[in-house]
Amino acid sequence: MTAAASDPAPSGFLARRRLGLRVWWTMLVICLEERLVYRGDFVLGTLMRFLPIVTQVFLWTAVFGATSSGSIAGYSRNDIVAYYLLTMVSRAFSSMPGLASGIARSIRDGSIKKYLVQPVDYVGYLLAARIAHKLVYYAVATLPFAGVFLFCRDYFPPIPDWTTLGAFALSLVLSFLLGFFMEATLGMLGFWFLEVSSIVFAYMLVQYMLSGHMFPLDMLRDIPTGVAGVSVADVVRFLPFEYTAYFPAAVWLGKVQGAQLVRSLLLEAAWVGVMIVACRIAWWRGTRRYSAFGG
Amino acid sequence: MTRYVSILLTFARACLVRDMTFRANFVLECVTSLGWMAMNLAFYLLVFTFTPEIGLGTGWTKEPFFAFVATGLIINSIVQALFMPSAEELTEMVRTGGLDGILVQPLDAQFLLSMHRVDFSAFANGLVGVGLLAWAIPRLPQPPHPVAILLYPLLVVCGVAILYSLVIMLAAATIHLGRNQSLYDFWFYLTNFSRYPAEIYSGPWGGPLRALCTFVIPILLVVNVPARVIAQPLTGQGGMMVAGTVFAAGAALVISRWVFQTALSKYRSASS
């Protein structure tokens, strides 16, 4: 029991905010410690994420070697390599491994009920846990990331201007929030379905393809939908997935600029807002129909 | 041996009964698995809208490449169905102490730990692989040699054996790490190297990588050799490749057995 929890409830807005922050900080520290218990597994998992990039670099080098064109969908070979590396950065922010399945599991096995009786906001706790997870991940991954980027520096265009860098950073923060709230909402479907593993898998499938993780979404520009003048890329642009991989990478590479950049950032922020509301509604509706039994 | 086959069939029957108890879930798992595969096929189709072949002069044009993909689907589906579910369970068994119960059984521990679960839904991809192969073979620039058709199943079995050895060695790492949640991820990333023709690994970095993934971790032999035998004309090098793959499969099985047994000898129970 922490001192904060044993103290009498503080009065006043500022005191309550301070207590809220202290609880949140405690949750963050606990989650950080939890993350570091199985260090070997964590380091191994982090380093492995670079492996798929290697095959993609060789695949696209072979593709460019066999085609007479020096550019595919506006990307040179160097652009493609830089794109894949940058999507690694995007995914480092937006991917939420185990979040949805963890929520569904705690609903199924009843462990979620402790959050219903404690003065802790479950979504807030999950957010703190995820930030802790990411902080540890960045601490471990920064060095290999820097090494790989330094090694592959010739593939990258010159470092963009400060405005683009700011937009890139903002797009990454928004992609983290978007990824978190999308997966948390998905996990809360467990209130209705109990087992959501197939839904999560289907989501991952769609997300992997439509986020631009697999290939730059600009490659879909010439794929028709059947509606005159509308390509598959046009449809994908209206979905939230591209903000979790493609968009930050495209910002860095200068593929999205000017008014389009502002519009896209606003759209990304709007998607974050939509998913926060969806997550809160799912939690609110779900806890009202939830029934737990056992000790 | 007969006893082990009989036990394996009993495991398989129990898993099938369980899968059929939750039929909707089984169908959903098949559908999602097929969806993943369809997405990859769509990606390859997209790639072929930009290029006539994967690598200049490699011969991996659309139809041979899809024969390659089909071979990968068949081999991976066998491994995913027969070995991966058990290996994934091992990672939790080590952490929770559940492994103790297995070790006291009057059966070979490696057999029990690597084959007690069968995921029948994973065979769905293999069936599509067979269909894709049947589509690709009549469209190949040169029909496969009769010897190649005879060698193909043997080489598929060799590919499965190499991957099985890899799964076992990764699972053995669990015993040292205490927990290995990344097992499945590592498996996915490592087998990623086998998903494309070996020719793409060329140049100052690709050459050594190709050598590493052929002679040290023979992951490039798994799909490349059977696919090459069926999709491209057999040349003088073909015999060497086939012999090398059979040898690599045998060596991988022996080494993985040793690694697993050594790891088990270091196991300290986590239960009370």
- Work out whether the CA dihedral B202, B206, B211, B217 comes out positive or negative: negative
Q: Chain B within 8 Å of A260 (Cβ-Cβ)?
A: no
Average pLDDT score, chain A: 85
Cβ contact, residue pair A38, B46, below 8 Å: no
Query: Contact, A207 vs A177, CB < 8 A?
Result: no
Report the predicted TM-score, pTM, of the whole model to 2 decimal places.
Answer: 0.81
User: Which of A114-137 are b and which e, b meaning 16 or more Cβ less than 10 Å from the residue's Cβ?
Assistant: ebeeeebbbbebbbbbbbbbbebb
Q: Is the pLDDT of residue B85 over 50?
A: yes
In this prediction, residue A3 carries a pLDDT of 43
Q: Which residues fall within 8 angstroms of residue B116, CB to CB, at 6 or more apart?
A: B11, B86, B89
In this prediction, residue B163 carries a pLDDT of 94
Query: Closest Cα partner for A274 from A131, A128, A174, A172?
Result: A174
> Which residues pair with residue B53 across a beta bridge?
B61
Q: If you average pLDDT over residues B59-79, what whole number do you get?
A: 94
Instruction: Select from B46, B50, B179 the Cβ nearest to the Cβ of A38.
Output: B179
Please give the distance of CA B91 from its chain centroid, rounded to a whole number.
19
Ordered DSSP codes for B224-236: HHHHHHHHS---H
Lowest mean pLDDT among A276-280, B57-61, B173-177, B228-232: B173-177
d(CA A276, CA A8): 31
CB-based burial label for B140 (10 Å; 0-12, 13-18, 19+): middle
Q: Is the pLDDT of residue A4 over 60?
A: no
- Assign residue A98 a region (left: φ > 0; alpha: ψ between -120 and 50; beta: otherwise): left
Query: Considering chain B, what percentage of its residues have pLDDT values greater than 90?
Result: 40
Q: Is the pLDDT of residue A294 over 60?
A: no
Residues of A in Cβ contact (< 8 Å) with B32: 198, 201-202, 205
ipTM: 0.85
Helix axes B146-177, B236-265, angle to 10 degrees: 20
Please give the distance of CA A244 from its chain centroid, rounded to a whole number.
6
Q: If you average pLDDT over residues A17-26, what whole number do you get?
A: 78
In this prediction, residue A12 carries a pLDDT of 75
Q: What is the pLDDT of residues A181-218, one digit of tens each?
A: 999 999 999 888 867 877 888 888 889 889 998 899 99
Cβ contact, residue pair A63, B47, below 8 Å: yes
Cβ-based contacts under 8 A for chains A and B = 106
Structure tokens at A235: 């449809």
Which of A116-130, B18-32, B39-53, B167-181 reaches the highest mean pLDDT?
A: B39-53
Q: Is the pLDDT of residue A44 over 80?
A: no
